[in-house]
C-alpha cells in the first residue's frame, strides 16, 4: 500500500472513529409503554448507553402492537425506516419478503445465534438463511394471574384443576363482590384470552389444526363451538366498563384487589413486579385450566431495517446487546417473559419465571409448543385480523356461538 493510500485510509478511519464516538445512535420503535414494559426496556436502553450509543426512543402506544405496525408502514414507505422495530412472528416475515430488513449474519455467526436460539424462534428471526431480527424474549399467552387476598376473601383456596372448577371459582369471586375477571375490551385482548381457551378446550392438536394449518374440519368442529361457549361463559364475569380498557389497567384491577383474575400473557407479571408485588405471596400465576403441558408462545424480536453508514455499526451493537446472555436474564426477569436463548440459567427468575422456563422447555421437547394466534405467531396478519374480527364480535354479543364458528371458517379463507 502506498503512503498516500495508507494516509487516506487512516484519515477516513479516524474520521469514522470520531464519528462513532460521538454520533452512534439507534432509533427503536416499540409499544412498551406500560410501567412494567418501560422498566424492562430501560435495561436495554441503559446497556446501550453504557456502550456510548444514544437511544432514540419511538414508542407507539397500543398493546399487541397494531398501532406500531401502522406507524412502521408509514415510515418505511416514506423511506425513513427506524434502526429497529419490536415485531412479532409473521410480521417479520412479511417485511423480510419485501427485502427491507438488514443482514445480521455476521454478528449472528460471531455470537453463535444458530446454536442458542430455539428453532421455533429462528423460523421468524431468519428469512432465506439470513438473520433479520434479534429475539429478545419468549412470552406465552395461556396464563391466569390472580390476587391471593381476593381469592381468600371469596373462599377460593386452591388452584382450579379444570375448566369447570375455574368457572366455579370465578363465580365465587363475583358473588363476593369483586370483579371476577378483569378484562380490557380490545380485539387483541379478546384473542389473547381465546388462545388459552382454545388450547384448554381442544388440546394442542386441535389448536394446531385449526389456527396454524387452517384445517376446515377443525375450524368448523363442535370443539370450536365449545370454545366459543366457553368464551361466552367468561363474558359473564367481566365488568360493564370493560370496553376499550388497556390490558395494564385490567392488570391494575387485580393488583389493587378490585378484581380476582386476569387471563393475559406473562407481560402481566411485569406489572405486578413493577407494583412491588411478590409471586406466591401477593399474587399467583397458573396456566389456563386444562392447558398445562402446552404453551401458546410469542416472541418479541427486534427486526432490523436496512440503514446506512454509521448506523450499521450501531445496529450491529444493538443486535449483539439484545442477544447477550447476561442481558437476556436481566431483561426477562423484569419483563415477565423468559429468555430467547436456551443457555440462560433460571437462577435470577422468580417462581412464575422458573415455571415459564420449565413449561417452555417441556413443550418444546414434547412438540406441544404452538404459536399464539393473538400475537402473530400462528398465521400472517391478513388472516389473523379476520379471526380477530370474529372473536371480538362474538365477545361483544354480535355473533352467537354457532354463527361464530361459521365466521371462523370464512375468516380462514382470508
The residues binding ligand GAL (CB under 6 A) are 31-32, 37, 63-65, 88, 139, 247, 267, 298, 300, 375
Q: Where are the beta strands (DSSP E) in 198-352?
A: 259-263, 283-287, 295-298, 300-304
Nearest to residue 371, comparing CAs of 170, 207, 247, 232?
Answer: 207
The CB-of-66 to ligand GAL minimum distance in angstroms stands at: 9
The CB-of-188 to ligand GAL minimum distance in angstroms stands at: 7
Task: Decide whether 65 or 339 has the Cβ nearer to ligand GAL.
Answer: 65
C-alpha span between 140 and 123 (Å, rounded): 17
Q: Which long-range contacts (CB under 8 A, 24 or more apart) does 92-100 make?
A: 92/124, 92/125, 92/127, 92/132, 92/133, 92/301, 92/303, 93/124, 93/127, 93/380, 94/380, 94/381, 95/132, 95/303, 95/305, 96/127, 96/128, 96/130, 96/132, 96/303, 97/127, 100/76, 100/305, 100/306
Task: Decide whether 71 or 405 has the Cβ nearer to ligand GAL.
Answer: 71
The CB-of-242 to ligand GAL minimum distance in angstroms stands at: 17
Structural element, H or E, at residue 99: none
Task: Decide whether 69 or 399 has the Cβ nearer to ligand GAL.
Answer: 69
The CB-of-266 to ligand GAL minimum distance in angstroms stands at: 9
The CB-of-316 to ligand GAL minimum distance in angstroms stands at: 23
The CB-of-30 to ligand GAL minimum distance in angstroms stands at: 8
Residue whose C-beta lies closest to ligand GAL: 63
C-alpha span between 389 and 123 (Å, rounded): 26
The CB-of-139 to ligand GAL minimum distance in angstroms stands at: 5
Task: Decide whether 230 or 375 has the Cβ nearer to ligand GAL.
Answer: 375
The residues that bridge with 174 in the sheet, in sequence order, are none
Task: Decide whether 32 or 388 has the Cβ nearer to ligand GAL.
Answer: 32
Three-state DSSP class for 321? helix
Query: For residues 395 and 318, is the Cβ–Cβ distance under 8 A?
Result: no
Task: Decide whether 186 or 291 has the Cβ nearer to ligand GAL.
Answer: 186
Task: Decide whether 296 or 298 has the Cβ nearer to ligand GAL.
Answer: 298
Amino acid at each position: 500500500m502506498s503512503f498516500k493510500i495508507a494516509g487516506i485510509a487512516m484519515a477516513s478511519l479516524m474520521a469514522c472513529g470520531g464519528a462513532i464516538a460521538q454520533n452512534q445512535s439507534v432509533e427503536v420503535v416499540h409499544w412498551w409503554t406500560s410501567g412494567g414494559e418501560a422498566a424492562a426496556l430501560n435495561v436495554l436502553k441503559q446497556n446501550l448507553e453504557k456502550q456510548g450509543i444514544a437511544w432514540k426512543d419511538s414508542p407507539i402506544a397500543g398493546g399487541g402492537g397494531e398501532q406500531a405496525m401502522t406507524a412502521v408502514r408509514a415510515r418505511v414507505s416514506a423511506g425513513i425506516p427506524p434502526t429497529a422495530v419490536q415485531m412479532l412472528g409473521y410480521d417479520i416475515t412479511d417485511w423480510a419478503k419485501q427485502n427491507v430488513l438488514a443482514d445480521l449474519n455476521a454478528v449472528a455467526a460471531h455470537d453463535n445465534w444458530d446454536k442458542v436460539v430455539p428453532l421455533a424462534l429462528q423460523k421468524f428471526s431468519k428469512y432465506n438463511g439470513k438473520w433479520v431480527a434479534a429475539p429478545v424474549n419468549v412470552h406465552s399467552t395461556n396464563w391466569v394471574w390472580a390476587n391471593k387476598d381476593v381469592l381468600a376473601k371469596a373462599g377460593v383456596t386452591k388452584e382450579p384443576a379444570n375448566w369447570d372448577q375455574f368457572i366455579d371459582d370465578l363465580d365465587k369471586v363475583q358473588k363476593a363482590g369483586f370483579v371476577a375477571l378483569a378484562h380490557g375490551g380490545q380485539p387483541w385482548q379478546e384473542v389473547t384470552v381465546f388462545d388459552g381457551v382454545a388450547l384448554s378446550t381442544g388440546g394442542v392438536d386441535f389448536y394446531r389444526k385449526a389456527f396454524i394449518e387452517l384445517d376446515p374440519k377443525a375450524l368448523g368442529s363442535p370443539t370450536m363451538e365449545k370454545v366459543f361457549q366457553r368464551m361466552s361463559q367468561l363474558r359473564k364475569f367481566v365488568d360493564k366498563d370493560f370496553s376499550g380498557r388497556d390490558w395494564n389497567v385490567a392488570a391494575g384491577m387485580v393488583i389493587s384487589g378490585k378484581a380476582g383474575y386476569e387471563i393475559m400473557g406473562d407481560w402481566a407479571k411485569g406489572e405486578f413486579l413493577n407494583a412491588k408485588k411478590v409471586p406466591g405471596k401477593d399474587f399467583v400465576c397458573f396456566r389456563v385450566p386444562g392447558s398445562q403441558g402446552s404453551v401458546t408462545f410469542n416472541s418479541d424480536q427486534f427486526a432490523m431495517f436496512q440503514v446506512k453508514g454509521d448506523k450499521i455499526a450501531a445496529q450491529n451493537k444493538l443486535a449483539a446487546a439484545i442477544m447477550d446472555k447476561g442481558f437476556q436474564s436481566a431483561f426477562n426477569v423484569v419483563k415477565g417473559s423468559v429468555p430467547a436463548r436456551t443457555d440462560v440459567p433460571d437462577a435470577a427468575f422468580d417462581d412464575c419465571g422458573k415455571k415459564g422456563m420449565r413449561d417452555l422447555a417441556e413443550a418444546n421437547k414434547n412438540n406441544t409448543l404452538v404459536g399464539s394466534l393473538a400475537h402473530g405467531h400462528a398465521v400472517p396478519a391478513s388472516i389473523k385480523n379476520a379471526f380477530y374480527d370474529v372473536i371480538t364480535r362474538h365477545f361483544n354479543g354480535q355473533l352467537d356461538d354457532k354463527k361464530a364458528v361459521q365466521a371462523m371458517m370464512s375468516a380462514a379463507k382470508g
